[in-house]
Amino acid sequence: MRATLVLLLFAEGAILGNPAPTRGAPPEAPRCDAPACHGALVSKAHAHTPAAEGECASCHVPTGAAHPGDGAKGFRLVKTGGALCLECHELPARKNVHAPVAEGECTTCHDPHGSGQPALLKQPLGTMCFECHDAAEFKVHVVTGIDLGTGHPLSGVPDPARPGQTLSCVSCHDPHGSDSPKLWRYQAQTSFDLCGRCHRM
């Protein structure tokens, strides 16, 4: 009798347009870049392509621990340090290599998720270089060796050798590596080789 009553109620609900509830699929996990999760990492003006496209698994793999969770991390890097960056970014072998690059410390200068600066730089060029290099040393003119109090301009001036760019440390130095001394660009072997790139005699 009881079973018959349940069956009649079920049939009545179906007839009245109220089908019996069905067990649905579990809710989808939010994307890594959801605002409530890691959205702030990729909401900058310049986002790392894998992060912008939600391809977090390009760099991160699950550890098996709960995520988010308390204690153990839910994800680990596919490879560590510069080895991970070199999975996608190719740097030609150079005779002289910038120390952070040689040590696989790409994130010293670049944010791996996103940045307000071009090239995913953590800070503006003129600021970031002087995190490691003494700014006072660059007040001496590159050729004469005389302290002029200002040195070569490093910002706010158009770069004649690179249209559309402004002068900065990377106007003369390759920030990754070079076959020239002092990481100079343009295969320069002396500072005079660099001068001719912008200054016409």
Instruction: Show pLDDT as tens, one digit a residue, over the chain (201 residues).
Output: 444 444 343 444 444 455 555 566 666 666 787 787 887 888 889 999 998 888 888 999 988 888 887 778 888 999 998 999 999 999 999 999 999 999 999 999 999 999 999 999 999 887 889 899 888 777 765 555 555 566 677 777 888 888 888 888 898 899 999 999 999 999 999 888 888 888 876
How far apart CA 160 and CA 102 sit, in angstroms, is 30
Q: What is the pLDDT of residue 22?
A: 56
In-domain check, residue 105: no
Residue span of the structural domain in which 176 resides: 123-201
Q: What is the pLDDT of residue 82?
A: 92
In-domain check, residue 164: yes
Domain count, the chain: 1
In-domain check, residue 166: yes
In-domain check, residue 144: yes
In-domain check, residue 195: yes
Q: What is the pLDDT of residue 3?
A: 47
In-domain check, residue 110: no
In-domain check, residue 2: no
pTM for the complete prediction? 0.75
In-domain check, residue 109: no
Q: What is the pLDDT of residue 123?
A: 93
Q: What is the pLDDT of residue 83?
A: 93
Residue 132: C-alpha distances to residues 31, 61, 82, 98 (Å): 37, 33, 19, 12
Q: What is the dihedral of CA 67, 69, 75, 76, to 10 degrees?
A: 180
Contact 164, 118 (CB under 8 A): no
Ramachandran bin of 151, using left for φ above 0, alpha for ψ from -120 to 50, beta for the remaining angles: left
